[in-house]
A = this chain, B = another copy of it.
């Protein structure tokens, strides 16, 4: 190998923006071809297709197991077939609860029976489909019949329980009512149960996505008083996918856990409700007034309770085994058929799902159609493309997870990367995932024109960052969970991306009966211009990954990012140490008692264990070594490699993300193998970077923190050896 060539490419790529003439991973000649190809690709994209396909797919509710869901899958398959793809439907048999009985009533000091029924609205016929609409509920709540005093717990996240403890309020034996937002919803019943609550109600406060945010549907896009967010509450931070087949595919004859043994079902019954139904319950609470930041937008004084409000919650589900139909469409690569570029979006929805997921699905389809046309004209991809339309994402990433678990060996061998999309709307490009792909995504973002402003979507994104006081660079975020990339990156160690536009499309329709085509057309992306932009962005990424001479993974940005995570953790540990020191000093000096209002309940805080100094050196040393091997890698010219060596290098690059996983996975949740990114055990969707170390520190488990530092250092050491071995090619 010789130095030089790639540096120049890299620098040029960054400087030229829209007028790009070089691309990371391509020789100059092939870059020219690729640029022409992408231009041709872009020319084939049509907004009309997105529009008519959305109307078709979101005409009726199509959650997993429905007839319309099956029809959608078959229709998708048919489309792909017509575009020249090899298609199949891979079906798994997964546990899915349908709500049979839902009763929520206030039984004291007055009575109120929750309506649990959304209103049909004028101008949106889809909201009037009555019994065809899936009743509002939280999937994978256990059955239950409980009655107890009510306690308001704000968002129901860890710091809320810390606050309750300070106020001397215990939820043991109570039913909690929590607001949506503040964490992924599944955390709320999980924590409530850990704290001893026997039931959980979740409601959408108007402050978060109702009238406080803007006019409500149908006048505006926000949640009206009857809207209810459905959603899964399975314990996804433990493992996603079918609850009865952890870590393996839910094939027809798979051995299944008994339902009562499934660890990802909730421990207590949980039901989501509207703010119309929540208000009488909250109004009936007395006791302390909720802290300022807890108060929502209802015209009441928010009290915490417990009681005198008492509620009765009864839930019974029909626990069905339903088929989840994944559509898999393949276009074989001309040169490297065993190197797969994977691209996916789910097709199931809670109700009509115009925005979630259909807006992303139709963009994926239009992209696949255009690539199919190119192929028909002889412009076939060098690597194999695998387009996936997942079923059962909504109840817990089930379709994709079962498929990844089913094909994990082959995937770990053949996958180049997985590109995910989901709902999409008007606004700014947001890209998350593996930081080895940041440079490539940034280059692509520089070539896609923003439909509203005429500059590149990268330029517009950076302008948006700047207004928010953020970075001047194009950066991708670290992924937690929340869509189908999770099994790819976190379980199988496949480099992944999650792409979408948004930020000028806010509303309260998420997982309600109001996520319909008319709503989407009025408030999300009226002319599907951002749907086309998404197809354009993801399609270019797919084409680059498919045709690159050397896979466009880059490690300097990766190193910078991972180093910043370590810095963050070290700083947070120092801050925590100081906070604990200050806290303990204040406990010693009776500061809390002296400052407390004697007319309010007061619980004297206890002294906390001092935060030890952790030895971060093993990770720091590995990052230092990595810096030098990465410098070597990035400054080495790869253009003169023989085809064999280049192929060998690409094979190694395909393994890179897997080197960042460990067989053992994270403590207490071995399904999660990745050592850089994971969803938070107590945040759900929210990412925790360097999760082993970070979560141990956050949980103040110093022994585990030090052990996880070792695990991380070993992971980075393997990663370093992998880079070094590529350097010797």
A19 within 8 A of B: no
Query: Does chain B have a CB within 8 A of A144?
Result: no
- What is the interface residue range for chain A against chain B? 35 or more
Is there a chain B Cβ closer than 8 Å to A597's Cβ? yes
Asked if A594 and B453 make an inter-chain contact with CB atoms under 8 angstroms apart, the answer reads yes
Q: Are A299 and B301 in contact (CB under 8 A)?
A: no
Residue A163 is within 8 A (CB to CB) of chain B in the complex: no
8 A Cβ contacts from A291-312 to B: 295, 297-302
Query: Given A594-B463, A598-B452: A215 and B301 within 8 A (CB)?
Result: yes
The main secondary structure of chain A at its interface with chain B is loop
Contact A467 B215 (CB under 8 A): no
Q: Which residues of B contact A215 (CB under 8 A)?
A: 289, 301
Number of copies: 2
On whether the beta carbons of A211 and B463 are closer than 8 Å, the reply is: no
With the chains together, A213 CA to B592 CA distance in Å? 23
Tell me if A594 and B455 are in contact (CB < 8 A). Answer: yes
CB distance from A261 to the nearest CB of B (A): 46
**Are B463 and A301 in touch, CB under 8 angstroms?**
no
Return the chain B residue nearest A453 by Cβ.
B594
Residues of B within 8 Å of A222, CB to CB, are 301
Question: For window 251-308 of chain A, which residues contact chain B by CB distance below 8 Å?
Answer: 289, 295, 297-302
CB-CB < 8 A to A577: which residues of B?
none
Q: Chain A 528-549 against B: per-residue CB contact (8 Å), 1 yes, 0 no?
A: 0000000000000000000000
Residue in B206, B301, B466 whose CB lies within 8 Å of A586: B466
Residue contact B466 to A591, C-beta cutoff 8 Å: yes
**Within the assembled complex, what's the spacing in Å between the Cα atoms of A299 and B595?**
34
CA distance A268 to B295 in the complex (A): 36
Contact B212 A591 (CB under 8 A): no
A599 interface residue, CB < 8 Å from B? yes
Q: What does the 1/0 interface line of A420-437 toward B look like (CB < 8 Å)? A: 000000010000000000
Of chain B, the residue at the smallest CB distance from A589 is B463
User: Hey, which bits of chain A sit against chain B, CB under 8 A?
Assistant: 206, 211-216, 220, 222, 289, 295, 297-302, 427, 452-453, 455, 459-460, 463-464, 466-467, 504, 586, 589-595, 597-599
Extra 12 A-B pairs, beta carbons < 8 Å, given A213-B301, A466-B586 = A211-B299, A211-B300, A211-B301, A212-B301, A216-B301, A298-B299, A453-B598, A459-B594, A460-B594, A460-B595, A463-B595, A467-B591
